[in-house]
Amino acid sequence: MTLKLRDLSLKPDLFGNGHGLCAGCAEPVSVRQILSALENPPVVALATGCLEVSSTRFPDTTWKVPLIHSAFENSATTISGVEAAYKALVRKGRMEDRPLTFVVFAGDGATYDIGFQWLSGALERGHKFVYVCLNNEGYMNTGIQRSSATLLGAWTTTTPSGDARPGKPEWHKDMTKIVAAHGIPYVAQAASHNWKDLITKVRKAEQADGPAFINVLTPCDRGWRFEPEKTMEVSQLMVEAGLWPLYEVVNGKYKMTGARQKKRPVIDALLSQKRFSHITKNADDATIAGIQAKVDEEWDALQALCNMPVAAE
């Protein structure tokens, strides 16, 4: 089936307007695309984060779907409970059995750091839900602090750049691969600028027989220091530089998705974001060479995974 935007535009928007996310924010773009991609009516659990504080300002809500928010760390646990309760109520004949899709939206702080063990537990228990990490590489709504998703070398308010330190000293956590190691049926990495790739992945995730995880890169114009109109361009540069490869892992099998990836040097992506201006001002900076070497190494490792034959069933 070909995917047409005109067809999608006939569906009602399930995430509306009037929310308080910054001008140029990528998160609502991806949320609208994801909700429009779903075939079944969604039931959403929301972790604390930019999206939550901006879309659920009491007494209002931007959402037009059933939504539950409990805390920062436990959105995966919350949706586990919702899914288990629904199954129990159906079993007891107290609710109609109809296809629903249980979805979590959480940021990188809630996924990589604070909700890590809760997510791991829900994946291991095998609840049927789609977990979406909206990754803007930092704690942005509290004022741009580093998370374990923040890129090496990036300036944040807790990893300042100066004579003593060149921004964040550590390499980021590879959460997508960590989730894939749980052996769940569907895992993917997507990015805001590529709606077709994202929607295709969401549809596969919805059909998966068990937990599914999609890590979506959602550039943050305030935190990454670029002009709001550049959001899609920056997202694309991150992908093309190999800093955010688009791939999926279907029942353990790695596969690259989307065309023309990793054709640019990382400096192109770094130059588009002023959070790296302290290192990009000198093209010979050792940090840039270090990032390039590590990206190349990870890229080769990913290609090796994609080329690895999987044992026949």
Report CA-CA distances (Å) from 19 to 38, 58, 170, 210, 269.
22, 12, 34, 32, 29
* Site track 274-293 with other proteins (rule: CB under 8 A), x = hit: --------------------
Min CB(74)–other proteins separation in Å? 17
Least distance CB 197 / other proteins (angstroms):
13
Query: Nearer to other proteins by C-beta: 184 or 198?
Result: 198
Which of positions 47-106 make contact with other proteins (CB under 8 A)? Answer: 55-65, 67
**Minimum distance of other proteins from residue 64's CB (angstroms):** 4
DSSP 3-state assignment of 290? helix
Least CB distance from residue 149 to other proteins, whole Å?
21
Please state, in angstroms and rounded to a whole number, the distance separating the CA atoms of residues 78 and 1: 34
**Smaller CB distance to other proteins: residue 28 or 211?**
28
- In the bound state with other proteins, the residue whose beta carbon lies nearer, of 179 and 220, is 220
- Output the smallest distance, CB 253 to other proteins, in A: 29
Q: Which x/- pattern over 223-242 shows residues binding other proteins (rule: CB under 8 A)?
A: ----xxxxxxx---------
157-186: contacts with other proteins (CB under 8 A): none
> Measuring CA to CA, which residue among 17, 16, 83, 27 is closest to residue 50?
27
CA atoms of 298 and 294, how far apart (whole Å): 6
Of 29 and 202, which CB lies nearer to other proteins in the complex structure? Answer: 29
Question: 257: which 2 tokens?
Answer: 């998705």
Distance (Å, whole) CA 247 – CA 235: 15
Residue 290 tokens, joined: 């270090």
Shortest CB 189 distance to other proteins, Å: 19
For other proteins, give the closer residue by CB, 29 or 106. Answer: 29
Find out whether 112 and 148 touch, Cβ atoms under 8 Å.
Answer: yes
Which is nearer to other proteins, 161 or 272 (by Cβ)? 272
H or E segment and range at residue 67: strand 67-69
Identified binder of other proteins from the candidate list 1, 2, 17, 96, rule CB under 8 A: 17
Which region among 12-20, 127-135, 146-154, 278-286 touches other proteins (by CB under 8 A)? 12-20
> Are 170 and 195 in contact, with CB atoms under 8 Å apart?
no
* Pairing of the two strands 212-217 and 186-191: parallel
Nearest CB to other proteins, comparing residues 177 and 222: 222
Q: How far is the CB of 16 from other proteins (least distance, A)?
A: 4
Give whole-number Cα distances, 207 to 35, 42, 43, 183, 203, in Å. 14, 13, 15, 16, 6
Q: How far is the CB of 224 from other proteins (least distance, A)?
A: 14
C-alpha span between 161 and 278 (Å, rounded):
7
CB of 59 or CB of 309, closer to other proteins: 59
Contacts of 281 (CB under 8 A, 6+ apart): none
Task: Annotate each residue in 21-50 with x if it binds other proteins (CB under 8 A) or - if it does not, as one string.
Answer: xxxxxxxxx--xx-----------------
20 sits near other proteins (criterion: CB under 8 A): yes
- Where does 84-239 show beta strands of DSSP type E? 101-107, 130-135, 186-191, 212-217
By the criterion CB under 8 A, which residues form the site for other proteins?
A: 5-10, 13, 15-29, 32-33, 55-65, 67, 193, 195, 227-233
